[in-house]
Amino acid sequence: MTLVYCTFKAVAYLVSNPVASKALLLFGIPFLALQSLGVAPILTSALDSIGFQIGNIHISLLGVLRVTVFGTFIFWLGRAFNNTGQRFIRRQEKLDNRTREGIAKLFEIGIFVLVALLLQIMGINLTVLAVFGVGLGFGLQSIASNFISGMIILLDRQLSVGDFVELEDGRSVYVTA
């Protein structure tokens, strides 16, 4: 058996999640191989030299690859933590529905803040996103307003999931999460 085949089998055996296993095989093992051969610093400097400058921001092929790989991994990890945490919070029978939903939403916000901090710590510059965020902020203003209104309704405890609501225009709905 070849070393490559043994490596693939070892990763498949040790890492049960198929997405994490594929990511490790596609990115982790080739990176370790390049590092052990001493080629990684040469390849890194070559990829960093391919790029262009926009004002004070240098965009290189290395930066784009780093943002794509690590950003995708961190967002995937954040989503996995968020889903696990929300399932845990929603199983807490001692809390009423409104409190569970409010805590779950606050947990989700906390996870996104943590992901943004991790990306910043890893050296992925998020100031470019802030510039685009101002423009998106105007477009997403109604979504943010609805989110905050929903949090106020949850914390105010006037409505809960499963309540029947009849609106002024005659429409009626059941409140869902």
> In Å, what is the CA distance from 84 to each residue of 37, 80, 92?
39, 6, 13
Q: How confident is the model at residue 93 (pLDDT cuts 50, 70, 90)?
A: confident
CB proximity list for 44: less than 8 A, separation 6 or greater: 62
pLDDT digits (tens, 9 = 90+) for 30-66: 777 877 888 888 888 888 888 888 777 778 888 888 7
CB proximity list for 154: less than 8 A, separation 6 or greater: 98, 101, 102, 105
3-state secondary structure of 15: coil
In a domain, 74, yes or no: yes
Instruction: Give me 135's structure tokens.
Output: 């423009």
Tell me the residue type at 43: L
In a domain, 4, yes or no: no
- pTM of this prediction? 0.53
Domain count, the chain: 1
**pLDDT at site 131:** 58
Q: Compute the average pLDDT of residues 106-133.
A: 73
Domain that holds residue 86: 39-174
2-6, 32-36, 122-126, 133-137: which has the minimum mean pLDDT? Answer: 133-137
In a domain, 78, yes or no: yes
In a domain, 10, yes or no: no
In a domain, 22, yes or no: no
In a domain, 45, yes or no: yes
What mean pLDDT, rounded, does the chain reach? 77
Q: CB-hemisphere CA count at 13 Å for 51?
A: 17
15-24, 52-61, 72-81: which has the minimum mean pLDDT? Answer: 15-24
40-44, 45-49, 83-87, 156-160: which has the minimum mean pLDDT? Answer: 156-160
Q: Compute the average pLDDT of residues 5-34.
A: 75
In a domain, 12, yes or no: no
**pLDDT at site 147:** 72
In a domain, 106, yes or no: yes
**pLDDT at site 130:** 61
